Amino acid sequence: MNRCLQLARLGAGHVAPNPIVGSVLVYEDRIIGEGYHQEYGKAHAEVNCISSVRDENKELIEKSVIYVSLEPCAHFGKTPPCADLIIKHKIKVVVVGCRDPFEQVDGKGIEKLENAGITVIKGVLENDCKDLNKRFFTFHTKKRPYIILKWAQSKNHKIANADFSRVLNSNAYSNRLVHKWRSEEACIMV
């Protein structure tokens, strides 16, 4: 699941309002496929994971375990349901980091997999998986945006010069961090 989380982070800033998700396909302790949700409206993590399996390993897919940081979707949106893809490939075990709070999924992906006779192991690194998508979870569970307050001021309590020119109250590292945050947020208020 740690690898799923690493992969998922690669989609940060590119998939909103969808969650960032990573997926890994493992056959006998060997990764044979991996993927993440790379861009909004495009293939989800599970699709990219299964598609990444090399031709010589295709017959191993149904004998493998698929790990996913977030419950596979069960509805048609911009892409078909990932739960259906897993069922189609006859994968017998799915390890899920956490349940998806989105109303159209929220347990339905897990239920669909279990109804197809697939073993679903839930809650692996659950807190890490939820924290990874805190923006998505806040929106769907609290019906509000995730909020970050960023404040920088000089030693004399100023945030700008008298002529309103920019004051550099931070350093190169914190500037990169702030720009990263800006790329991941749905809205910025100044």
What token pair was written down for 154? 């000089």
Query: Position of tokens 């060997």?
Result: 30
State whether residue 25 is helix, strand or coil.
strand
60 phi/psi in degrees, rounded to 5: -85, -10
Number of residues written out for the chain: 190
Q: Which residues are catalytic?
A: 46
d(CA 179, CA 156): 25
Phi, psi of 119 (to 5 degrees): -80, 125
